[in-house]
Amino acid sequence: MLHLSELNGNTELPSRANVEYVRSMSAGWNSVCLPFALNMSMLDKIEKDCRIALVKSISDRGARIQDVDGVSAGQPCLIYVPVPKSFRFEIDNAELTTEPVNSGCLKGTFQKKVIGQGAYKLGQDGASFAKTVGEDAICYSYRAYIIK
């Protein structure tokens, strides 16, 4: 079993594995970037009224998001959770990708990464993006951030 969490990012992933992913999510929006596909039925088994969204664009006025039913492996996204909740996914023989799909404005990472000053990541309120101010600002494993 391959154990994934924000505390143990991975630099090398197999193409297939039995996977366990554990994460405590705050009420509101949470950034996520996983090496396996994620869909609404997986979230509904843990908590109702969740949402998955892609960030389509970002401007000084805010982010434009689009709700989706699921994302492919490596696709950075936002997950809305109505109440704080611990998520645990177990997937047998999951198809994995080795790199995040960073073609959009939301960038994902599979390992803890220094993103530096001037990037944007979700604020603690889960309702807005905040601009990072320090050169040592980080993004934790299996999460996402924005660079304008």
Task: For residues 31 and 138, give the distance between their C-alpha atoms in angstroms, rounded to a whole number.
Answer: 13
Tens-digit pLDDT profile for residues 15-71: 999 999 999 999 999 999 999 999 999 999 888 999 999 999 888 788 899 999 999
Q: Residue 113: CA atoms inside 13 Å, Cβ hemisphere, count?
A: 19
Provide mean pLDDT across the span 2-19. 89
What pLDDT shows up at residue 10? 80
Tens-digit pLDDT profile for residues 113-132: 999 999 999 988 888 888 99
Higher-pLDDT residue of 60, 2: 2
No. of helices (H) and no. of strands (E), the chain = 1, 15
